[in-house]
A = this chain, B = another copy of it.
């Protein structure tokens, strides 16, 4: 079922790309951009990511009239409180989702009915960049990317289907997963790799800054991400991230032992196995 009107709270890289994709291939007519800064919302209108704008200090009830789906794309530490507040002003039965990189604590806080019989169902599109802001938003950001939807036992099947249809309409492949499984998976595939890139950037001695090549650049690229956003993700998923860093450190120590012991055959096997795994992911 085609949606006619969607609101996006926080129109940065992800929110802006949702707007562009929803207006383009998604065929949504009205996209309401909601945020704190009118200037930034106006920029979102300029790039075509939203059609209407509402400041958080404006009359939200008027802004949310007719809106069927609200997608909250703010840092994970703000999502719960913002959805609770917006539900107070939304029309009855509005579906809320988010784009946050953690899901368990958010799903737990928002499980069950919200004000005005609004409901929450978490999402997380696996797309992004170390770049931020609506000027980097792209209509094809979700094309062939995975978008995870994280129902709980209280979620309604019709909401899961509406949300899946929405993400599909932006070009994404939908994966259904519990909020807890989501956070465990993301610790391994996203949060720990981010920590690794950050520690790598931090470990670079001043004297060698001019001697880095494309390899160091690729491996440390994520460290350019927004510190505030990542602080919240790390703290929210700290148990799984800690476990995942420990498992990674054991792998790295194994590899270091093979190198320092000059165990040529085992080293070759390790490198060959890792290459196979990496090649399977594509570029």
Specify which of B196, B239, B259, B280 is in contact with A200 (CB 8 Å cutoff). Answer: B196
Complex CA distance for A221 and B215, rounded to whole angstroms? 8
The dominant DSSP class at the A interface is helix
Known contacts being A196-B196, A196-B219, A221-B219, is A251 close to B214, with CB within 8 Å? no
Shortest C-beta distance, A13 to chain B (Å), equals 12
CA distance A228 to B264 in the complex (A): 10
1/0 per residue, CB under 8 A from B, across A213-255: the answer is 1111111111111111011001100110110011111011111
Residue A47, interface by CB 8 Å: no
User: Whose C-beta in chain B lies nearest to the C-beta of A267?
Assistant: B231
Q: A200-B248, A277-B223 are in contact. Are A188 and B215 (CB under 8 A)?
A: no
Q: In whole angstroms, how far apart are the Cα atoms of A251 and B199 in the complex? A: 6
- A271–B227 CB distance below 8 A: yes
Minimum CB distance partner of A244 in chain B: B203
Q: Which of B215, B275, B277 contacts A193 (CB 8 A)?
A: B215
Residue of B nearest to A269 (CB): B227
Q: Count of A residues near B, CB < 8 Å? A: 86
> Within the assembled complex, what's the spacing in Å between the Cα atoms of A145 and B281?
28
Residue A44 is within 8 A (CB to CB) of chain B in the complex: no
A53 adjacent to chain B (CB < 8 Å): no
**Residues of chain B lying within 8 A (CB to CB) of residue A190:** 212-213, 215-216
Decide: A189 and B204 in contact? CB cutoff 8 A: yes
Contact call A224/B255, Cβ cutoff below 8 A? no
The answer to whether A273 has its CB under 8 Å from any CB of chain B is yes
10 contacts between A and B (CB under 8 A): A193-B215, A196-B196, A196-B200, A202-B274, A203-B248, A204-B277, A209-B280, A219-B221, A239-B260, A242-B256
